[in-house]
Amino acid sequence: MVVTVVGDSVVIAVKMSSDIVTARQAGRELAAQLGFSLTDITMISTAISEIARNITSYAGTGEVRVAVEDRDGRRALVVQAQDQGPGILDIPRALEDGYSTGRGLGLGLPGARRLMDQLIIDSGPGQGTLVEMWKWVPPRA
């Protein structure tokens, strides 16, 4: 397990299934600090698990980065998962429920997209994959 702090970001090296738990916990802790509801915290940590699991399943290694950043003029909890794996051949298809190139159920990317406010994928054959997703930080009471 390798966790580093880079600026305002927590970066978790993802190489094995225990690293998925570490990435999930980092997202959970930041979400709690930001005042997300328990339901939102669960959705964020589940989405992190799904995209981190894709790293171990398809690329072998990569990293998950969790931070608070500005998106469209609003504060957001931003999660980036990046790897140098084989890439995604057909991104729209990969976002369809039930589609999987592996042994999974095809719920990872579409599920993460439903759980977060936004999800963007940058990938191509042989280029690795960057999944960026975020959830708007709730207004302070």
pLDDT tens readout for residues 40-79: 999 999 999 999 999 999 899 999 999 999 999 999 999 9
Question: Is 30 contained in some domain?
Answer: yes
Question: Is 141 contained in some domain?
Answer: no
Pairing between strand 74-83 and 62-71? antiparallel
Predicted confidence at residue 105, as pLDDT, reads 43
Segments in the chain below pLDDT 50: 105-106
Cβ(93)–Cβ(43) under 8 Å? no
Question: Is 28 contained in some domain?
Answer: yes
**Contacting residues for 139 by C-beta, under 8 A, at least 6 apart:** none
**Whole domain around residue 109: which residue ranges?**
2-136
Cβ(68)–Cβ(78) under 8 Å? yes
- pTM here is 0.90
Domain count, the chain: 1
Separation in Å, CA 49 to CA 14, 53, 79, 87:
11, 6, 11, 19
Cβ(38)–Cβ(10) under 8 Å? no
